[in-house]
Amino acid sequence: MPAINDKLIVALDVDTLERAERFVDILYPQVKLFKVGSQLFTAHGPEAIKMIGAKGGRVFLDLKLHDIPNTVKNAVYTGTSQQAVFMMTVHTEGGIEMMRYASEGAVKKAAELKIERPFIVGVTVLTSSATTLEEVVKRALTAKNAGLDGVVCSVHEAPAVRKNCGKDFILVTPGIRSQGEETADQKRVATAQDAIQAGANFIVVGRPILEANDPLAVAEELLSSCRS
């Protein structure tokens, strides 16, 4: 497992393994955690995970699994066998039984391999969606009751989720932008410092780093914000 002070996850939302590898080479070892989401995983599957692991990085596998409980359990079971994966997502819309099965899949495979299991976190709602605070907190509590380790939520909901779910519940916050930066298609955004002050354990940053002239400089600035 990564140390809890490794807070920055860089989202490798790119279309080729070569581009993903280029960013890992630029950013590692200052950045140790990388997100593999639907775009990269659909194109290259486990090869993307293996590439990051071979270079020393750890993977946040963000596939937002949402299916019948046994299918999700089997997907998490398989994902746990990829030892570079330290955390993966399911979608809270799948319900409490599905989330329980997901947790069981991780526990079972980790026990078989005699490794630490990955964190399983539930996506509450997408940062491109408009929603109510009450709905996010309700989904977070359901995730906790299902045995998940935490949730993905925006910075704006993080304090309320932290208050209701406790200090050991993991909060992952996407939608991180610099002050005054364009928000593109994300509605609920905030700065890295806002996220840490709101109680986030991990922040997920993609475009501000990937589209920068100097990706490492931007990443280092964000890392500094996480520590301040």
Residues in Cβ contact with 146 at an 8 Å cutoff, skipping those fewer than 6 apart: 96, 97, 99, 100, 102, 103, 122
Question: Residue 113 has what DSSP assignment?
Answer: H
Percent of the chain with pLDDT over 70: 91
* Catalytic residue check, 144: no
Instruction: Classify 24 as helix, strand or coil.
Output: helix
pLDDT, position 227:
81
pLDDT of 146 above 70: yes
The strand pairing partners of 88, in sequence order, are 61, 120
User: Omega before 29 cis (within 30°)?
Assistant: yes
At 220, which helix (H) or strand (E)? helix 215-227
Confidence of residue 207 (pLDDT cuts 50, 70, 90): very high
Full-model pTM: 0.93
* Annotated catalytic residue, options 55, 64, 108, 187: 64
Please, what CATH class does the domain formed by 8-227 belong to? alpha beta
Instruction: Determine the average pLDDT of the residues in 83-107.
Output: 97
Extents of the domains making up the chain: 8-227
pLDDT tens column, 74-89: 999 999 999 999 999 9
Contact 102/72 with Cβ under 8 angstroms?
yes
